[in-house]
Copies of this chain bind each other. A is one copy, B any other.
């Protein structure tokens, strides 16, 4: 038994509550009846096992995730919107988010980036943000 591995779940809960309040409960309500333990596994794996690690701070990690999702384009549109919201909540500026998404036109192509930019602007509009 590795205490370090087991700690992922507790740390994951701390991090996910901070970045995406209510996420574990939402995952549990939606998926655990069909997939027992899914919500714990995702929180422990993603937020404890990765986001909560040392070596890179949360803002840097959130920028990286926004970049990754922008490259993947509209196939991950719901996640793009959730992570743009999380980026804003962490204090990353709307302008910086836009810049990173635009940059992804170079790596995932213009259509993926434009679609991701549209998802981003929808979040800004829902948050009442203006340029």
Task: Report A53-93 residues with CB < 8 Å from chain B CB.
Answer: 53, 55-56, 60-61, 63-79
User: What number of A residues sit within 8 Å (CB to CB) of B?
Assistant: 69
Task: Tell me, rounded to whole Å, the shortest Cβ–Cβ distance linking A5 to chain B.
Answer: 4
A105 surroundings in chain B (CB, below 8 A): 50, 109
Q: Does A10 contact B (CB under 8 A)?
A: yes
Please report A residues at the B interface, Cβ cutoff 8 Å: 1-2, 4-6, 8-10, 30-31, 33-35, 37-38, 40-42, 44-46, 49-51, 53, 55-56, 60-61, 63-79, 94-96, 98-100, 102-112, 114-115, 117, 121, 124, 131
CB closest residue in chain B, given A50: B103
A5→B50 contact, CB < 8 A? no
Given A6-B5, A67-B68, A72-B71, decide whether A98 and B45 contact each other with a Cβ distance below 8 A: no
